[in-house]
Chains A and B, each alone.
Chain A
Amino acid sequence: MMMRIERFPVIRPALHNILNLEKELESLFGTDTYPVAPAARHRSPLINVAESEKETVVTMELPGVSREDIKIAFEGGVLSISGERKERQLPEGARWVRNESFAGTFRRDLRLAKPVNAGAISAELKNGVLQIVVPTAEEARPREISIR
Chain B
Amino acid sequence: MEKSIDVRDQQTNSDTAYDRCRIPAADVYETSDAFVLMLDLPGVVKEGISLIHEKGELKVRAVAAAGQPSDMKVLVREVRPATYSRTFTLGDGIDTESIDARFDSGVLTVKLLKSAASRSREITIN
Tally A-B pairs: CB < 8 A: 203
Q: Mark B79-101, 1 if CB is under 8 A from A, else 0.
A: 10000011111111100000000
Tell me whether B86 and A109 are in contact (CB under 8 A).
no
Question: What separation, in Å, do the CA atoms of A88 and B28 have in the docked complex?
Answer: 11
Interface size on B, residues (CB 8 A): 60
Number of residues on chain A facing chain B (CB within 8 A): 63
Cβ–Cβ contact B40 & A51, under 8 A? no
Given contacts A2-B92, A52-B71, contact A107 B25 (CB under 8 A): no
Q: Mark B residues whose CB is within 8 Å of A.
A: 1-8, 10, 22-32, 35-38, 40-45, 57, 65, 67-69, 71-79, 85-93, 105-107, 114, 118-120
Nearest 8 pairs between A and B by C-beta?
Answer: A128-B106, A63-B106, A128-B42, A30-B89, A3-B91, A50-B72, A33-B87, A49-B76
Could you give 30 example pairs across A and B, Cβ below 8 Å?
A29-B30, A34-B23, A34-B86, A38-B26, A40-B23, A40-B40, A44-B1, A47-B78, A50-B69, A51-B75, A52-B72, A61-B43, A61-B106, A63-B40, A63-B41, A64-B40, A64-B105, A90-B29, A93-B32, A98-B26, A100-B25, A101-B26, A109-B4, A111-B4, A112-B7, A125-B105, A127-B44, A127-B45, A128-B40, A128-B42
